[in-house]
Structure 1
Amino acid sequence: MSGFADELTDLVRALAKEADPVPDGQLSALWSNVRELGLTGIGIPEDKGGSGGELDDLLVVIRELARAGVDTPIVEAATAAFAIGAADADGRFDTVVTHDELDLSGPSLSGDLGVVAFAPLARRAVVIGVAGLAVFELADADIEAVVDIAGRPSGRVRLTDSPCTHADVHADAAAERLVLARSAALIGGCWGAYDMTRRYVVERHQFGAPLVEISAVTGNLAHMAVGIRTAEAALRRAVKVAQGGGNSALRRLSAAATARIAAAQCATAVARTAHQLHGAVGITTEYGLHRFTRSLWAQRDADRSELSWCGRLGAAALAVDEETFWDQLSA
């Protein structure tokens, strides 16, 4: 880490204090500040149009925005900027989508990409496949505007011979960056839900005592915290592997997949436990818990699902010899 983690944390938390709740289908006004400060370009060298710094500095920003309950396109925009450079300075940004079946090698694309986060507002979309990467202008696509479970403006995107270009960045590198960024957002959202739940059970009294004095409540809080710390450890290892030289493609894949799986599992458990401990108040619109849990559900299932990553990790394990498999388990 570059040493700016504390400064970035303080910056994002200060910005988040000014953020107001956002109606479904709209972007937070804070997003323009995030872009103007160059936060989406962290982890990209300045000579390539980025803001400098390191990958884990970017993950700090992503984590803290999610922890504050501010849902922005930073995961998508930062990944797209890594793959193809920053969007033009017109207030727009680029988004990303993963798709394992489209042929991304030609000069055009045709097919249904499904629901793409922030598609109605973005300029371009980066399609990340198993072995390829393609970029197209969203103006060349048929977009049916929808709002996803988190309330984010999204769109069902269909392509018919839409012109596309190809970036120099390898698809595996872009996919790895997306996985790490998504995992950081999930961890931040988990911390946000945990913080809110902990405050509630400390302040809420039942039978003359705070809820936190009930052993079952305390135990559930502890399970939440342990799960988040476990996901954090997996993400730290994945970042270390990604930034370390000489690591094999298998090691990078297994580290990134493990981080994504741990973060997804944690998101499911934290969202469920947070609502259980809040009781009925936790499902009301007026109470802010849904800002965290809806985002956790949306991002948990974004890109490739937890099940898909488990399948890829298992297939990679089956494809290697016993000695290599043991090295992966014990490294």
Structure 2
Amino acid sequence: MDFLIAPERLELAEAVRDYLAGTHGPEVLRKLDEGDNRDPAIWDGLVEMGLTGLLVPEESGGLGLALLDAALVARECGRACLAEPLVESALVMVPWQLRNGGLADADAVLSGEAQPLPAHQINGWQSDGEGEALESVDPLRNLAALLDNASDDAQLLDLGAVMSAAQLVGLAEAMLDQAVEYSKIREQFGQPIGGFQAMKHRLADVAVALEFARPVVWRAVQALDDEAGSASLHVSHAKLAAADAAYLAAESAIQVHGAMGYTYEVDLHFWMKRTWALAGAWGDRAFHQRRVDDAILGGAHPIGPENTFA
């Protein structure tokens, strides 16, 4: 059985990564933070790349790709700490609508004029919604209080949770990269701290956590795409693994940067705050841990080597 992701899928994700690296760097994050958190030019660029139509069927003018492609793009959105609600709109709400009656106006979604945004009861807020404005730990997220018609749909919850997990993987990767680069230039006792064994072990632990989290997230995405009966279990496992990796990356990156890692002057804080925000979005740790416990301890999902690939 081949568990590798097809090269063409990785090429799309790499193209998104390159684009965001050139248009959505730390200087842009700071500019957005000083303004109203949104720049129409950024959204227009995402539309021009065709990302708003990533999951829209080809017969409706979209790219007609799969959830795995969307998750790979969501990972890059996390890596870039993207401010625009692309994930919530094109990668969560669009596939949910397609599975529940279809898009109301595919052309408006493809052109970027319409941004269908999810509102689920588990969150208590809506990203870029039209209700009462709420304050977020992440300064680049615009949140609004939920309206009375918020959904309680389990499928929407799973889509939101798994795309949050994919973003958390990207966030963790970005923070690890920042920590590694800084460890090469920060010196103590006349040498870069990256040469100290304790620091190497700390960063290696993050790399290991990411190696374990990535396949768990991709497995959950595939289970959702296949509409497997165990999909919710895999989604909760993915959210837990990705959040743990991102938290570890944040803690380790702070340690590498020293006390200044907590300050506004260090770019790291944008990725840390997004991690804190997404870790609690679409179900917190207690919620997803309970779903995993109920499935395994309740016998709904038997464990053991004979059931690994069932």
Q: TM-score w.r.t. structure 2 length?
A: 0.82
Matched, 1:311 2:293: no
Counterpart check, 1:72 vs 2:84: yes
What do residues 15-65 of structure 1 show as CA deviations (whole Å, max 9, x unaligned)?
A: 431221221651254233213432133234223564212222222221112
- SS of the equivalent of 1:116 reads strand
Map 1:54-203 to 2 at 5 A.
54-78=66-90, 79-84=92-97, 85=103, 86=106, 89=111, 91-99=113-121, 114-120=124-130, 143-151=131-139, 152-159=141-148, 171-203=153-185
Instruction: Indicate conservation of the 8 Å contact 1:42/1:55, yes or no.
Output: no
Looking at secondary structure, tell me which structure has more helix per residue. 2
Give the secondary-structure state (helix, strand or coil) at the position aligned to 1:98.
Answer: coil
Alignment of 1:226-241 (within 5 A): 226-241=208-223
- What is the letter of the counterpart of residue 199 of structure 2? V
Identity of aligned residues (%): 25
Deviations 1:137-189, CA, capped at 9 Å, x for gaps: xxxxxx21123111111112343xx6x9x9xxx94443332222111100001
Q: The residue matched to 1:155 in structure 2 has which SS?
A: strand
Question: Residue in 1 aligned with 2:33?
Answer: 23
Q: Secondary structure at the match of 2:15?
A: helix
What is the CA-CA distance between 1:229 and the residue it aligns to?
Answer: 1.3
CA distance in 1, matches of 2:303, 2:203: 35
- Note the C-alpha offset of 1:328: 8.5
- Note the C-alpha offset of 1:278: 0.9
Q: Does 1:12 align with 2:34?
A: no
Tell me which of the two structures has the higher relative contact order, counting C-alpha pairs closer than 8 angstroms and 6 or more residues apart.
Answer: 2
What SS class does the counterpart of residue 91 from structure 1 fall into?
Answer: coil
The amino acid across from 1:201 in the alignment is S
Change (3 A) 1:304 1:154: same
Q: Distance in 2 between matches of 1:273 and 1:99?
A: 33
Equivalences, count: 286
SS of the aligned residue for 2:84 comes to coil
Counterparts of 1:239-250 in structure 2 under 5 Å?
239-244=221-226, 248-249=228-229
In structure 2, distance between residues paired with 1:12 and 1:217: 28
Matched, 1:330 2:297: no
1:27 to 1:16, Cα distance in 2 relative to 1, 3 A: farther
| Unaligned 5+ runs, structure 1 | 101-112, 121-142
Alpha-carbon separation, structure 2, partners of 1:293 and 1:90 = 29
Structure with greater strand share of residues: 1
Q: Is the 8 A contact 2:66 2:225 kept in 1?
A: no
**Partner amino acid for 1:324?**
P
1:330 aligned partner, one-letter code: T
Is the 1:15–1:30 contact (alpha carbons within 8 Å) kept by the matching residues of 2?
Answer: no
- CA 1:218/1:90 → structure 2, altered by over 3 Å: closer, same or farther? closer
